[in-house]
Amino acid sequence: MSIAEKIKVLIVDDQVTSRLLLSDALTQLGFKQITSAGDGEQGMKIMAEQPHHLVISDFNMPKMDGIGFLQAVRANPNTKKAAFIILTAQGDRALVQKAASLGANNVLAKPFTIEKMKAAIEAVFGALK
């Protein structure tokens, strides 16, 4: 069993198309345990019920944005150890720095390639094979 098969992933993005693209890319990389949420509030409910090892979260979302969700994940003792990759279309250095200061493990820019996604995840978990 590869590392990817053991990792539970939570995708949090308000765009259905983005969630599907992320899920497809993760599946191609060998991930099998993938859950999705439409915003940070729904993501926290899922994390409270069953913590995941990796969260890939968009920045711009209604109800609770990616930064608020990151803060909530890091504040909860049951979820704070999850790896967190923030997904953004913005080339905003301030956002990237803020996410890093709040405990994001990496940033993945949209549009992304499978290779860039793999590199972002491997920077956190090491080689996936």
pLDDT, residue 11, reads 98
Structure confidence by residue, pLDDT tens digits, 58-108: 988 888 999 999 999 999 999 999 999 998 876 677 888 899 999 999 999
Distance CA 12, CA 101 (A): 20
Single pTM value for the model: 0.94
Mean pLDDT of the chain: 93
Q: Which homologous superfamily is 3-125 in?
A: Response regulator (3.40.50.2300)
Q: What would the two tokens of residue 86 be?
A: 């923030």
DSSP, collapsed to helix, strand or coil, labels residue 14 as: coil
Residue carrying the six token digits 């345990």 = 33
